[in-house]
Structure 1
Amino acid sequence: MLILRSSPTSPFGRKIKIAIAELGLDDRIEIVPADTNDPAESLRRQNPLGKVPTLVFEDGTTLFDSRVIAEYLDHLAGGGRLFQAGDARFAQLRLQAVADGVCDAGLLQVYELRLRAAEMRNAAWVENQAGKVARALASLEAAPPAYDRPRIGEIALACALGYLDLRFEGAWRASHPALVAWLDTFAAKVPAFEATRFKG
């Protein structure tokens, strides 16, 4: 059986958990929590970067990061489910890149404010990261992605918005009603979104 190393608050891990459910691979992959801050954590031997998510094969070899794992899982499920062909594929990859970028910028803000002593924090740097999130959300609010069934881009976006809810108390919602409605629709269509709700 494959093993997915993840953590309860990782938006990238959540993306893969939802992908697993959407692809019907739940019975083929065991999810094992990982503590990325623990120097003794076996994750550091499985992935030299010590990051989640990491997919571990039965022979001990691994795949990472979430974009690579998602591609592999789609292949494992027969292909063409999370990723389309031609121009549609690149539209999905672009949406995934924007959503993952929102997560990256959000994570960097959290790290700066949580882990760095107050006197060492760089307010301009935090503002720069917040600006990336704001611009991305503004572009998505102007044209929320339409879809018939969720693919990797929509899954990534839902996880990014969920992460902003977790770490920034849903402050994005007040000025992005179209995205709020989009996320509500996604959650209604994809039960795994609620099942993988962030904890912590």
Structure 2
Amino acid sequence: MQLLMSPASPYVRKTRVTIRELGLTGQIEEIALSTNALDTDPRLASANPAGKIPALTRDDGPTVHDSRVICRYLDHLAKGSLYPDRRIWEVLTLEATGDALCDAAVAMTYEARFKGTEGKSGEWIEAQWAKAARILASLEARWMSHLSGPVDAGQIAVACGLGYLDLRHAGRDWRATVPELAAWHARFAERPSMADTVPPEA
């Protein structure tokens, strides 16, 4: 199998962390591509018509894409425990929350990068940050006990979303209002799977 990816993407990082947590590194080749919404790599477009990363190509079936689908597939393949039946709805909701944090943060990045100084909308960027801030507050108020439990897909998604805030929006100082979440992230970031997938700063 091959994972078509770009290491700076938080959705890619979530998938790469999952691969490592499940012990699947020897079965999946990671192929780094230079691709974006305005210039899609043809290999990616062929694998996923939406042109989005990550995409997982398989020898025995069609390409699997969307990080949530890929992570669920990999957990099934490895007979893992990242999606435990006994609390599946909490895990899936937390994973969706982590992905929503990524959505808002990536939207901020794209607005600034692809529209440039003259074309970007400050109101749009601040609206996306307001979403991110609400998510951070919700995680601090409602999810700390779950985040402190056994490692699951929801925790991985949140950790990768927070890591992306550090990568692209460090000036927002997200830790200032959510000290418990910040402390949890510092501990989770020490996991080998997280340390091995720290994205480049460029």
Same fold by TM-score, threshold 0.5 exceeded? yes
Instruction: State the alpha-carbon separation in 2 of the partners of residues 45 and 60 from structure 1.
Output: 14
Partner of 1:7: 6
CA displacement 1:55-112 (0-9 Å, x = unmatched): 0012572001000001100110114x110114x1010111111110010001111111
| Paired amino acid for 1:172 | W
Q: State the partner residue of 1:77.
A: 78
Match of 1:128 in 2: 127
Write the distance in 2 (CA, Å) between the matches of 1:18 and 1:66. Answer: 11
CA distance in 1, matches of 2:198, 2:41: 27
Residues 1-200 of structure 1: matches in 2 within 5 Å? 2-37=1-36, 38-58=39-59, 61-79=62-80, 81-86=81-86, 88-143=87-142, 144=144, 145-169=146-170, 171-188=173-190, 190-199=191-200, 200=202
Distance 2:5 2:139 in 1: 27
State the shift of 1:179 in Å. 1.1
Q: Distance in 1 between matches of 2:54 and 2:40?
A: 17
- For these two proteins, the number of residue pairs brought into alignment is 196
Deviations 1:105-157 (A, max 9, x none): 01111111111133332222222111100000011122423443211000000
Q: Distance in 1 between matches of 2:117 and 2:148?
A: 43
DSSP-derived class of the 1:116 partner = helix
Partner-residue secondary structure (3-state), 1:106? helix
Alpha-carbon distance between aligned partners in 2 of 1:135 and 1:40, rounded to the nearest angstrom: 34
Shift in CA distance, 40/53, structure 1 to aligned 2, threshold 3 Å: closer
Distance 1:138 1:32, change over 3 A: same
Mapped to 2, the partners of 1:182 and 1:121 lie a distance apart of 34
Quick check: 2:148–2:184 contact (8 Å CA) kept in 1? no
* Distance of 2:41 and 2:183 partners within structure 1: 43
Compute the RMSD of aligned alpha carbons. 1.6
Gaps of 5+ in 2: none
Normalised by the length of structure 1, the TM-score is 0.92
Deviates more, 1:6-15 or 1:172-181: 172-181
TM-score by length of 2: 0.91
Gaps of 5+ in 1: none
Distance of 1:89 and 1:124 partners within structure 2: 36
Percent identity between the two aligned chains: 44
